[in-house]
Amino acid sequence: MRRRIVATPGAWLVWGAVGFFFVLLAGVIGSVLVSSFGRRWFDTWLPQSWTTQWYGQAWHEFTLLDVLIVTVEISVLVVAISVLVGVPASYVLARKNFPGRRLLYLLFLLPILMPPITYGIPLATVLYKYGLAGHMAGVVLANLVPSIPFVILTMTPFIEQVDPAIERAARMCGARTGQVFARILAPLLVPGILAASILVLVRTVGMFELTFLTAGPDSQTLVVALYYTMSAAGIRAQQSVDAMAVIYTSMMLVLLVVALRFVNPTQLVARVKEDVE
Amino acid sequence: MTATTRTAPRTALRHRLAERGIDRQLLLLVPALLAVLILFIYPFAYGMGLSFQPAEGGVLGAYRNFFGDAYQRDTIGTTLQLALPAAFLNVAASVPIAYRMRGRFRGKRLLTTLLVVPITLGTVLTAEGLLNFLGPTGWFNRTLLEAGLVDGPLRLTNNYWGVFFSLVITGFPFAFLLILSYLSGIDPTLERAAATLGAGWWPRFHRITLPLLAPGLATTFCLTFVLAFSVFPSAVLVGDPAGTTRVISIAAYHAAYEAYDYSLASAIAVVMGVVELAVVAAVLGVRSLFYTGSTGGKG
C-alpha cells in the first residue's frame, strides 16, 4: 500500500516538521564535519582552505588509540557480563509465574527509569569507598546498572515468543535443563541476544554520565575524553576537538549500521507484523 | 523417563512449591537480582543514609541547605522548565508524524535509520554541532542574515535555547521510534472498520487510535522526560551552566566533585529522584483515567 504524496495541509505540516528536523540535524553534523577539515574558519560560509592535519593532531594529542582500546575493552566486558547475567533472568521472567514476579520486574525497571546521575553519584561514592572507582572495574560495574535491566527488558518479550512446546518436546526426549539451554534455546535466541548486545554496546559507548562519574585518567571512554577536551577548550584548536568528535561519530555510525542489520528499530517495543495487506 | 519419576514423600513440599511456580529454575534470577541489589539498591540506600548525615545541621541539614538556598532550590524549576516542554514537544510532534508514517512506504527503512543517527550522536557531539551551527557566525544565523529576516545574529547558544535544541535533537528520534512502534502495534482493521461505518479521519484518530495509543504515549512521555531530566553535558556545553541552565544534575555534580560535600550531593540526588518519580507517577496517574485494556500490542 504505497501512499501518494497528496498536498493536504496536514501532510505539508508533517513533512515540513520532518524537513526542519533534518535540516537542523544536517547542520549540526555538517558544521562539525566541515570544521574538522577546515584550516581557518571564522566569518565565511566555508573554511578558506582544507586540511586533514587536525585528525593527526587529535590522534596524537589526545592519545586516541589508548582511549579507543579502553572504550572497546569496557564495552565488550559490559556486554558480555550483562548478557550472561541478564538472559537467564529474562528466561525465568518470560516463562514462569511466581509470587513476587511483578515486584521483581519493577525492580529491574527502576534503573532504566531513573536518570543516571541520580544513582550515579551515590554509586560512585560507594565505588570510591571500596577503591573500585577510578579504574576500569568501577566503570564496568557502573555501566552494568542500566545494561543488565536493559538486556532483561529486551530479551523477555523475545523469549516469550519462542514456543514453549519446543522445550517441552526436548524435555520429553530426555534433555536436562542445561541441554535445553545449550542445544534448543541458545540457537533460537541468537538473534535476540545479538540485538540486545549491540544495543547495550551502543548505549555503553555513548553512556556519558556513569562513565564520567567513575572513570579515572586511564579509564576514560571516548565520549568522556571528548567532554573533557571540550570543556577545557581554549587551549586547543577548536578543529582538533571537532576532529575527535567526528572520529567518535563515525565509530558510533559503524556500530549503528551493524546494529540495524540485526534490529528493526520500530520493533523494539512491540514485536508485530508489518501492516498486512 | 527416570528423570520425571520422583519418590513421593521427599518431594511433596517441593511439588507444592513448584505448583506455585517456585522451583530451582528461579536460581537463574539470582545473579541479576544480586547485581541490581548490590549496584543499585545498596548505593541508593547508602546515598540516602549519607544525605541524612551532613557534617553539620542535624538529620535534615543537607536538605535544609538545599531548599534554604535559592541558588540551589531554583535548579528544580530550571530543570523542569527545560525537561517538561522538551519532552512534551518531542511526544506531541511524534504523534502526527508517526501516524502518517505507519504502514509501509518506500524509504521507510532509510528514514528510520536516519532518525536513529541522533540517538547515537550523544549529547556531547550534539553540543559541539549546535555551537558551530547555531552560533553567532554559524550557518543558521548566516542564512537568516542573508535572507534579511533578522538584523543581528540570534543568540541561540549558551542559553536556554541551546539546551532545548539539544534535547529535541536527542529526544525526538527516540520518542518518534517508540510512538511508531506503538502505533504499528495497533490493529489497523479497527480503524478500517470505523471508516467503513462512516467515521472521518478525526473521529477515527480521536475515538479509536488515540485511546489505544494512550498507554504508549504515557510510557514514551516518561522515558523522554527521564532523558531530558538528566540533561547534564549539554547544559554545561551549550547552556549557561552558571545561570539560566543550571540544572539540578549540575548542582549535584558540583556538590560531589567540587565542594566534596557528599551528603549534600546525595541529598540532591534523592530530591532529583523524588521529583522525577513524582512527574512519572503524575503522568501514569493521568493516563489511568483513560482507557485501560488490551491495545493489541505490548504496551
Are residues A203 and A226 located together in one domain of the fold? yes
Range of the domain at A234: 55-267
Same domain, A34 and A64: no
What pLDDT score does A263 carry? 65
Low-confidence ranges of chain A (pLDDT < 70): 1-7, 40-45, 233-237, 262-277
Which residues, at least 6 apart from B62, have a Cβ–Cβ distance to it below 8 Å?
B51, B52, B54, B261, B263, B264, B266, B267
Q: SS3 for B26-80, per residue?
A: HHHHHHHHHHHHHHHHHHHHHHHHHHCCCCCCCCCHHHHHHHHCHHHHHHHHHHH
Please calculate the CA angle A15-A19-A21 and round it to the nearest 5 degrees: 120
Q: What is the pLDDT of residue A233?
A: 57
A38: helix, strand or coil? strand
Domain-located, residue A2: no
Q: Determine the pLDDT at residue A99.
A: 82
Q: Does B83 touch chain A (CB under 8 A)?
A: no
Any domain includes B49: no
A113 and A214 in a single domain? The answer is: yes
Would you say the C-alpha torsion B147, B149, B152, B155 has a positive or negative sign? negative
- Given this model, what pLDDT does residue A1 score? 44
Residue B299 lies in a domain: no
Structural domain span for residue B97: 74-287
Same domain membership, residue A155 and residue A43: no
Instruction: Kindly state whether residues A194 and A68 are assigned to the same domain.
Output: yes
**Cβ neighbours of A269 in B, within 8 Å:** 178, 181-182, 185, 216, 297-298
Within-domain flag for A253: yes
Question: Running DSSP on this structure, what letter comes out for residue B149?
Answer: S
Identify the pLDDT of residue A275.
37
Is residue A169 located within the same domain as residue A228? yes
Angle, helix B248-257 to helix B70-101, in steps of 10 degrees: 130
Number of domains chain B is built from:
1
CATH code for the domain in which residue B174 is found: 1.10.3720.10
One domain, residues A81 and A19: no
A273 lies in some domain: no
Interface residue B165 vs chain A (CB under 8 A): yes
Q: Are B122 and A208 in contact (CB under 8 A)?
A: yes
In a domain, B261, yes or no: yes
The per-residue pLDDT for B53 is 82
d(CA B83, CA B162): 13
CA distance A123 to A128: 8
Residue B55 lies in a domain: no
Domain assignment present for A240: yes
Burial letters for A132-156: b for 16+ Cβ neighbours within 10 Å, e otherwise?
bbbbbbbbbbbbbbbbbbbbbbbbb
pLDDT tens digit string along B82-97?
Answer: 889 999 999 988 888 8
Co-location of A59 and A163 in the same domain: yes
B249/A117 Cβ within 8 A? yes
Q: What does the pLDDT look like over A264-274, one tens digit per residue?
A: 555 544 443 33
Specify if A93 maps to a domain: yes
User: Is the CB of A96 less than 8 angstroms away from the CB of B25?
Assistant: yes
Domain membership of residue A183 (yes or no) is yes
Asked if A196 and A154 count as a contact pair (C-beta separation under 8 A), the reply is yes
Residue count of chain B, please give it. 299
User: Do A135 and A233 belong together in one domain?
Assistant: yes
Residue A254 maps to a domain? yes
Query: Do B118 and A25 count as a contact with CB atoms less than 8 A apart?
Result: yes
Please tell me whether residues A40 and A67 are part of one structural domain.
no
Angstroms from A224 CA to nearest CA on chain B: 9
Question: Do residue B20 and residue A98 have CB atoms under 8 angstroms apart?
Answer: yes
Q: Are residues A238 and A255 in the same domain?
A: yes
Cell numbers 511433596 correspond to B12
* A10 and B CB contact within 8 Å: yes
Task: Give the whole-angstrom CA distance, residue A253 versus residue B8.
Answer: 60
What's the CA gap between B152 and B143, in Å, rounded? 12
Q: Is A84 within a domain?
A: yes
DSSP state of A265: G
Whether A116 and chain B come into contact, CB under 8 Å, resolves to: yes
Residues A80, A127 within the same domain: yes
Residue B59 domain flag: no
Number of independent structural domains in chain A: 2
CATH of the domain at A85: 1.10.3720.10
Query: pLDDT of chain B along its 299 residues, tens only?
Result: 444 444 555 667 777 777 777 777 788 888 888 988 988 889 888 888 888 887 777 778 788 888 888 888 888 888 888 889 999 999 988 888 888 777 667 777 777 777 777 776 766 778 878 888 887 777 888 888 888 777 777 777 778 888 888 888 888 888 888 888 788 777 888 888 888 988 888 888 888 888 888 888 888 888 888 888 877 877 788 877 777 778 888 888 888 888 888 888 888 888 888 888 898 888 888 877 766 555 544 43
User: Does residue B131 belong to any structural domain of this protein?
Assistant: yes
- How many A/B residue pairs have CB atoms within 8 Å? 280
